[in-house]
C-alpha cells in the first residue's frame, strides 16, 4: 500500500557540491523558520569540525512539509571516509537526489555514493547545482551523470527515470528550474517534482511490525537511541517488541519513548507508522542492523553489511617531556575509556586494546576518518600520541596477500600532467584513464592505499598548487610490494629548550624548518626536514658566541623563512614507522618514538638501519 502522504529522499553528492546548502533552501522554502529568525548557513553542519572543514561527517535526518506531504530528507556525507554512514542511511530512502556540480560534473565520491544508491534500487533524480557558476556546462553534466549510472549498472527503469527527471539549480541563490534558461527564482519546481514524481513508500501499516536500526544516537540521560525506518506495521509507546541482532540472537524489549523527525528537531509521539522514519528509546545496547519486530509474527530483514576499515592507527598515552602543559586529560586509563565510548557509538570504526596493553588500535576507512576522531578528542582536552597509520591487509582463499586499492583522480593544467604521472609511478600507481582538454588534463589511477599517504602535497608541489586531487576506496587487490618512503631525512632536536632565531637561521640553509623562534622543543622532536636523505641531530638553541669586538647590525639580523606547519592529516601522512605524532589541544608535534639520541642509535643498529638513520 502506497503511503501517499510520505516521501523518503536521500541527497547524495561529491564533497562540496552543495548538498547541505540545498537542504537549507528547502527548509526556508517550506517556512521552517520564523520570519524574523536568525539562522546560520549550512544549518545541518552543526558539528564544529563540519563547519570548519566544509564537509558533512554525520548523516542527518530532517523533515519538511509541502502540499500536505511529509518529506523526510537525509543529508549524507560526500567523503568516502564516511561511507559507512552512506551505506546505512540509504536503506531508509525510496529515492535519491543526485546533486552534481554544473562545472565539475561527476567526481570520484559521486561514483562512490551513487553506486550504493543504485545497489539499493532507489529512484534517482538528477539535480545539476551551481548553474550560475562561470564555465557551467549543465547539459554535458547531465549526460556525464547518465553515463556514470550506466557504468555502475543502473537498471533501465533507473536510467529512464533519471533521464526524465532533471532539475537545474543554484542552491546558494535559492532557485531551481526545469530549464537552465528559465527565470524562476525559488525552489518550488524542485519541491513539486519531489512530491509529484518521486515514489511514495510502499508498505503495509496493518502488517506485523518490522523496523531496522540504521543509526545509533546517544544520550547521557536515556542511553542509546535507535533510528531507522518502519518497513511494515506500526510501533507504539510501551509496546513489547522482539529485537533480532545481526548475529541472529534475540531479546525482548520495551519501546519506552518514540520520536519522529519534524523540520530540524524531533517530536515525541505515541506511534510511528509504516513508511515513516523515527527514533526509539528503551532498547538496551541497541546496535546498527538490529531489527525491531512483532514477537508473535517476527519479520526477517537483510543484515546490514559495512565496508571494512582499511587503515589502523595506535593511540597511546603521551610520553612527551611537555606532557600536561596544554591538556587536562593525559592518563592512559581516561584515553582507553574515551575510545571505548567511541566504539559504542561509532560502528564504522573497529577499536581494540593491544594485547600488551600499551595502546588502543583504532581502525577506520581513511586518514580523514581517523583524524576527525583525533581532532574531537584534542578539543575535549586530551593529550595523546599516535603512530604511523598502518594499512590492513587481507588474504584470499589461496593465501595470497591483498591490500586496499584506491581510485585516484587528478585534474591538472596540461603542462604538469607528465610530472603528475611520474609522481604516481613512484608511489606504485597505475594510470587507467587520461583525457586531455584545451587547458586541463583529467587523469585516473589505481594506487595502493599505502601509496596515497603523503601524495597530496607532492601533487600540489608539482602542479604549483593548481592540481585538484581526489581519491576513494575501490577494492582489495594484489600486494604491490615495497613502496618508496620519505626521501628526505629529518632534523631532530638534541636538547629540551626553546628554539632560537640564530640557530634556525643557520639550519634553514640545510632544509625546511617546522619550528619558529621561541617554540618549545625537546630531545627527539622533529624540528625540520633535511634537503638530503638521512636524519640529522641539530641544536635549535645555539646562540652566537660573543667576543669583545663590535658587530654590525647586519650581522645581528637573521632573515627567517616562516616554518612549515602541518595539519593533523598531513602529520599522520608524513611520519615514518619509528616516529609518532604528539597531539595536544594547542599543538601538533612530530617526534621520534625513542627520544634519547644514544638509545635511538642503538635501536637502529639492532634493526639494521644504521646506514639510513642517526
SS (H, E, C) 550-603: CCCHHHHCCCCCCCCCCCHHHHHHHCCCCEEEEECCCCEEEEECCCCHHHHHHH
DSSP letter, residue 416: G
Rounded to 5°, the CA angle 393-395-397 comes to: 165
Rounded to 5°, the CA angle 526-529-533 comes to: 115
- Residue 456: phi and psi, rounded to 5, are -60, -45
Query: How far is residue 226's CA from residue 88's CA, in Å, rounded to a whole number?
Result: 13
| Residue found by looking up cell 589541544 in the block | 585
DSSP letter, residue 91: G
Rounded to 5°, the CA angle 53-265-212 comes to: 90
Q: By CB neighbour count within 10 A (0-12 exposed, 13-18 middle, 19+ buried), where does 239 fall?
A: middle
State how far the alpha carbon of 281 is from the alpha carbons of 25, 343, 502, in Å.
31, 20, 63
Which residues, 6 or more positions from 461, have their beta carbon under 8 angstroms from its beta carbon? Answer: none
Q: Is there a contact between 364 and 81 (Cβ–Cβ < 8 Å)?
A: yes
Detail the residues annotated as belonging to a binding site for GTP.
Answer: 16-21, 129-132
Instruction: For residue 232, list its beta bridge partners.
Output: 210
Question: What DSSP element (H or E) covers 481?
Answer: none
Which residues, 6 or more positions from 40, have their beta carbon under 8 angstroms from its beta carbon? Answer: none
- Residue 249: phi and psi, rounded to 5, are -70, 155
Q: By CB neighbour count within 10 A (0-12 exposed, 13-18 middle, 19+ buried), where does 558 fall?
A: middle
Question: What DSSP element (H or E) covers 57?
Answer: none
DSSP letter, residue 81: G
Rg (C-alpha) for the chain, rounded Å, is 27
Detail the residues annotated as belonging to a binding site.
Answer: 16-21, 129-132
State how far the alpha carbon of 190 is from the alpha carbons of 17, 102, 167, 197, 199, in Å.
17, 16, 7, 10, 15
Question: Rounded to the nearest 10 degrees, what angle do helices 417-426 and 455-462 cross at?
Answer: 150
Query: How far is residue 286's CA from residue 292's CA, in Å, rounded to a whole number?
Result: 10
**The pairing of beta strand 175-177 with beta strand 166-170:** antiparallel
Amino acid at each position: 500500500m502506497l503511503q501517499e502522504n510520505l516521501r523518503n529522499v536521500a541527497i547524495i553528492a561529491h564533497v562540496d557540491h552543495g548538498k547541505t546548502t540545498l537542504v537549507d533552501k528547502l527548509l526556508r522554502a517550506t517556512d521552517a523558520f520564523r520570519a524574523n529568525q536568525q539562522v546560520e548557513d549550512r544549518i545541518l553542519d552543526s558539528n564544529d569540525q563540519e563547519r570548519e572543514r566544509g564537509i558533512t561527517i554525520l548523516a542527518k535526518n530532517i523533515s519538511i512539509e509541502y502540499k500536505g506531504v511529509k518529506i523526510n530528507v537525509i543529508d549524507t556525507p560526500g567523503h568516502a571516509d564516511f561511507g559507512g554512514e552512506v551505506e546505512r542511511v540509504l536503506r531508509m530512502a525510496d529515492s535519491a537526489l543526485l546533486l552534481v556540480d554544473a562545472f565539475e560534473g561527476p567526481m570520484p565520491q559521486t561514483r562512490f555514493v551513487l553506486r550504493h544508491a543504485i545497489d539499493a534500487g532507489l529512484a534517482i533524480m538528477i539535480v545539476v547545482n551551481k548553474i550560475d557558476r562561470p564555465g557551467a556546462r549543465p547539459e554535458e553534466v547531465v549526460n556525464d551523470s547518465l553515463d556514470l549510472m550506466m557504468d555502475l549498472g543502473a537498471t533501465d527503469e533507473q536510467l529512464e527515470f533519471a533521464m526524465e527527471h532533471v532539475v537545474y539549480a543554484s542552491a546558494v541563490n535559492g532557485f531551481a528550474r526545469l530549464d537552465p534558461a528559465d527565470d524562476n527564482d525559488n525552489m518550488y519546481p524542485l519541491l513539486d517534482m519531489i512530491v509529484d514524481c518521486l515514489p511514495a513508500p510502499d508498505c503495509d501499516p496493518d502488517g506485523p511490525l518490522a523496523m531496522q536500526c540504521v543509526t545509533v544516537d546517544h544520550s547521557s540521560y536515556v542511553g542509546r537511541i535507535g533510528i531507522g525506518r518502519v518497513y511494515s506495521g506500526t510501533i507504539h509507546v510501551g509496546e513489547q517488541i522482539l529485537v533480532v541482532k545481526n548475529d541472529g540472537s534475540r531479546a525482548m524489549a520495551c519501546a519506552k519513548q518514540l520520536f519522529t523527525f519534524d523540520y530540524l528537531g524531533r517530536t515525541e509521539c505515541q506511534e510511528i507508522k509504516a513508511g515513516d522514519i523515527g527514533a526509539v528509546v528503551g532498547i538496551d545496547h541497541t546496535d546498527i542492523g538490529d531489527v525491531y519486530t512483532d514477537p508473535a509474527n517476527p519479520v526477517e530483514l537483510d543484515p546490514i553489511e559495512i565496508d571494512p576499515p582499511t587503515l589502523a592507527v595506535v593511540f597511546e598515552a603521551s610520553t612527551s617531556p611537555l606532557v600536561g602543559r596544554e591538556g587536562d586529560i593525559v592518563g592512559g586509563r581516561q584515553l582507553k575509556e574515551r575510545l571505548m565510548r567511541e566504539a559504542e557509538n561509532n560502528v564504522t570504526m573497529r577499536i581494540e586494546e593491544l594485547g600488551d596493553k600499551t595502546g588502543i588500535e583504532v581502525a577506520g576507512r581513511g586518514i580523514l576518518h581517523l583524524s576527525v576522531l583525533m581532532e574531537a578528542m584534542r578539543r575535549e582536552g586530551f593529550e595523546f600520541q599516535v603512530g604511523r597509520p598502518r594499512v590492513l591487509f587481507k588474504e584470499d582463499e589461496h593465501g595470497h596477500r591483498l591490500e586496499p586499492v584506491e581510485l585516484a583522480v587528478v585534474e591538472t593544467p596540461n603542462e604538469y600532467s607528465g610530472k603528475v604521472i611520474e609522481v604516481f609511478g613512484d608511489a606504485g600507481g597505475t594510470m587507467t584513464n587520461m583525457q586531455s582538454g584545451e587547458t586541463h588534463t583529467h587523469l585516473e589511477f589505481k594506487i595502493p592505499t599505502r601509496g596515497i599517504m603523503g601524495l597530496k602535497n607532492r601533487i600540489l608541489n608539482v602542479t604549483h598548487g593548481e592540481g585538484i586531487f581526489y581519491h576513494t576506496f575501490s577494492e582489495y587487490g594484489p600486494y604491490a610490494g615495497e613502496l618508496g618512503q620519505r626521501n628526505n631525512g629529518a632534523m631532530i632536536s638534541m636538547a629540551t629548550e626553546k628554539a632560537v632565531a640564530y640557530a634556525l637561521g643557520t639550519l634553514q640553509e640545510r632544509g625546511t624548518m617546522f619550528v619558529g623562534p621561541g617554540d618549545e622543543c625537546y630531545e627527539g622532536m622533529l624540528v625540520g626536514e633535511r634537503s638530503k636523505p638521512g636524519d640529522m641531530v641539530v641544536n635549535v638553541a645555539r646562540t652566537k658566541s660573543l667576543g669583545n669586538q663590535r658587530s654590525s647590525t647586519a650581522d645581528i639580523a637573521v632573515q627567517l623563512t616562516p616554518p612549515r606547519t602541518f595539519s593533523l592529516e598531513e602529520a599522520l601522512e608524513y611520519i615514518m614507522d619509528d616516529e609518532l605524532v604528539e597531539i595536544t589541544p594547542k599543538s601538533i608535534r612530530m617526534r621520534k618514538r625513542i627520544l634519547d639520541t644514544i638509545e635511538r642509535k642503538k635501536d637502529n643498529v639492532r634493526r639494521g638501519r644504521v646506514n639510513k638513520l642517526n
